[in-house]
Amino acid sequence: MSIQSIRGGEDLARFILARYSGKVVEVGVGRVPEVALLLAPHLEVVATDRETRTVGGLAVVEDDIFSPNYELYQGATLLYSIRPPLEMQLAMGSLARKIGADVIVRPLADEVAQIPGFSQTLVNEGEARFYLFTPSSREAPAV
């Protein structure tokens, strides 16, 4: 099975690798695990979705971001998602606040939530365009 790629997927992975260590979580991995697969050799990657399965050799764990299993996310430095709807972005922000993580959202178009308690920065990294949310009480990393 060939893995679908997304425009700027390698650039997004490179950005994450340059700024985060330890554990990161892709929320709602869907059928395009490209970024998670690029990160997996270097970071502890947890991929979540609505059903448990394996995609491209990556184990995907069943979880609902609206009622998360906190153990899956504990210790993560970053929650990220590719094309999440607004409600999902807000749920990610709520969870990230509780565990002390940043959030990256790669929107489908310009559907980007204002996540309470976070500063939002538009990042243009190579071909990747995404939003980085960092807790307002902390300085955003240089982009």
Give the CATH number, domain containing residue 120. Answer: 3.40.50.150
In a domain, 33, yes or no: yes
Cα–Cα–Cα angle for 18, 38, 22, nearest 5°?
50
In a domain, 89, yes or no: yes
Per-10-residue mean pLDDT of the chain, 143 residues long, equals 74 97 96 92 96 91 97 97 94 96 91 90 94 79 50
Distance CA(56)–CA(79), nearest Å, equals: 20
Distance CA(119)–CA(17), nearest Å, equals: 21
In a domain, 1, yes or no: no
Beta bridge partners of 26: 47, 80
Distance CA(105)–CA(61), nearest Å, equals: 20
**Which domain does 38 fall in, by range?**
9-135
pTM of the model: 0.91
In a domain, 61, yes or no: yes
Q: What confidence score (pLDDT) does residue 133 get?
A: 97
In a domain, 4, yes or no: no
Residues 53, 6 contacting (CB under 8 angstroms): no
Split into its structural domains, the chain has a count of 1
Q: What confidence score (pLDDT) does residue 93 get?
A: 96
Q: Is the dihedral of CA 72, 90, 57, 126 positive or negative?
A: negative
In a domain, 143, yes or no: no
